[in-house]
Every structure is written in structure tokens, then in C-alpha cells.
Amino acid sequence: MRRKLVIGNWKMNGSRAANSTLLAGIKAGLGDAKADTAVCVPAPYLAQCQAELTGSPIAWGSQDVSAHASGAFTGEVSAAMLLDFGSKFALVGHSERRSYHQESSALVAQKALAAVNAGLVPVVCVGETLDEREAGKTADVVGAQLDAVLEVLGTGQLAKIVLAYEPVWAIGTGKTATPAMAQEVHALLRARVAQKDAAAAAGMQILYGGSMKPENAAELLAQPDIDGGLIGGAALKAADFLAIIGAA
Ligand SMILES: O=C[C@H](O)COP(=O)(O)O
């Protein structure tokens, strides 16, 4: 039985004061939630998460990680640096990184590998655009994005990653994939992982992201291959984030 995992992706939002209020609200309302919980925050706030979340059940992580271990890579943050601040997760290949920063699937795969090698859990994001979906290319697009990662990870490493299916057309738009649409893609992603490592596929947490909110979370999270959520906008309000965690 896979545990449910709900991750809040704050994107480029927050301030020290607002973060404190949000984290305190989440901690206060978490109760005995059954789902695992984490927040992926802008890198400058990792120290704040470490200070305010250590000892709580809430894990934290980054929204990106360098493919390189160290050196002359201005502006990048290495996996070791993220670990220095107690991070557990690193998002890799979020569609906003792929589209605004031209990150290729090959680079995303190298980032996932760097994370795994350092002991971070990469949350590998895949997803198709609306044009790709309407052209019937969803399976090919997400399959190719996944394959790039499967190619670089060695035996045993597949059990150390989390996948997130985020249809690009559903991110921040208020449009959500129907539970059936999301389930179909999650099942095909799991089947593709199973071709390489059946045990890892059976245990792999595959999260859905894209306008998940309290009103639609329960139905999405009830699907057999949806193991949690990667939450954007609704993760910025403690009550909404807690409601989604409660639905998981
Ligand atoms: O990483 C989170 C996703 O991009 C979803 O964002 P959203 O919940 O605001 O649609």
C-alpha cells in the first residue's frame, strides 16, 4: 500500500513573515493526518523551514536543483547545499522550468540523478501542453519525458524518486484534469516504469498537479494510481492545503 504524499509548491511566493504564518497554520491544523506532507519553497527560505519545521511531520525541499555537484555555475544551487538545510525533496522538470528556462528532458534527468546521488528525493514532473493533448500526443510526450529519467537512473535508483503528472494546461488555470483523465496517464506512467523495474513501479508515488483544490482533491486522490498531489495556488492558504491533505 503506497502512502499518500501532498507537496505544496510555493513557486516564487512568500516572505519571512507570510511563511511563518502559513507554516504555523499548517502545523496547527495537521492533526493526525494520514498523508505525508511537504513544502517546496524558494531556496532562500529553506533555512526558515529548517528552523520552523524541524520536529514537525512536515518535510521541505526546493523547486529545482543543479545537475552539477559544485563549481562555476553562477546562480545554481547544488543538492548538497539543499541537504545542508535539511531538505528532503527537490522538484525537477516542473513545466515552468521546462518552458521559461528551456530545460530539456536530458537536463531534467541529470538533475534527478544528481539529487538521487546526493540523497535527495527528486519529484520528477512531466506533463503535456493543451496542443499536445488535443493532437493525441499525451502518452508520447509524458512517456518521452519519463524515459529520459529512466535512462540515466541505475538499478535500485528508481525506488528513490517520486513522479508528478502535471498537465500544463491545468496549472494555475482552474482547469483540472478529470479523475479519469489523470488516472489514465498515471497508470501509463506506472506501466512504463514497470517495464524497467516492476517493484519500483508498484511502490512509486505518482502525484497529480494542476489546479488541485479542496473541492476536487478527494475524487482525484481516490483514483488507484494517484498517490498524492503537487499543489500550487491552494498550498498558499493553510486552510486549503490542510483540506487537501485531509482528503488524501
Ligand atoms: O507545482 C504545482 C503545479 O504547478 C500546480 O499549480 P496549481 O495548483 O496552482 O495549478
Concerning whether 166 is annotated as a catalytic residue, the answer is yes
Q: Is the ipTM of this complex over 0.90?
A: yes
Ligand 1 atom closest to the CA of 91, numbered from 1: 1
Residue ranges of alpha helices (H) inside 119-197 are 130-134, 138-152, 179-196
Residues in Cβ contact with 119 at an 8 Å cutoff, skipping those fewer than 6 apart: 79, 83
Q: Say how far apart CA 203 and CA 115 lie, in whole Å.
A: 19
Each residue's pLDDT tens digit, 32-66:
889 999 999 999 999 999 999 999 999 999 999 99
What was the pLDDT predicted at 225?
98
Among 166, 173, 176, 216, the mutation site with the greatest number of ligand 1 atoms within 8 A of its Cβ is 166
Q: What percent of the chain clears pLDDT 90, i.e. is strictly above it? A: 95
Q: Is the pLDDT of residue 195 over 90?
A: yes
Average pLDDT score over residue span 138-153: 97
126 membership: H or E segment, kind and range: strand 121-126
Q: Is the pLDDT of residue 139 over 90?
A: yes
In this structure, what are the phi and psi dihedrals at residue 163, rounded to the nearest 5 degrees? -105, 150
Q: Say how far apart CA 122 and CA 153 lie, in whole Å.
A: 12
Question: How buried is 86 (Cβ within 10 angstroms: 0-12 exposed, 13-18 middle, 19+ buried)?
Answer: middle
Q: What percent of the chain clears pLDDT 70, i.e. is strictly above it? A: 100
Q: Is the pLDDT of residue 223 over 90?
A: yes
According to DSSP, the β-strands at 228-231 and 5-9 are: parallel
Average pLDDT score over residue span 130-140: 95
Each residue's pLDDT tens digit, 155-178:
899 999 999 999 999 988 888 889
Question: How buried is 20 (Cβ within 10 angstroms: 0-12 exposed, 13-18 middle, 19+ buried)?
Answer: middle
Q: What single-letter DSSP state applies at residue 61?
A: E
What was the pLDDT predicted at 172?
85
Average pLDDT score over residue span 84-93: 98
Among 231, 241, 245, the mutation site with the greatest number of ligand 1 atoms within 8 A of its Cβ is 231
Q: What is the mean pLDDT of the chain?
A: 97
Domain 5-247 has CATH 3.40.50.2000: no
CA of 207 to the centre of ligand 1 (A): 11
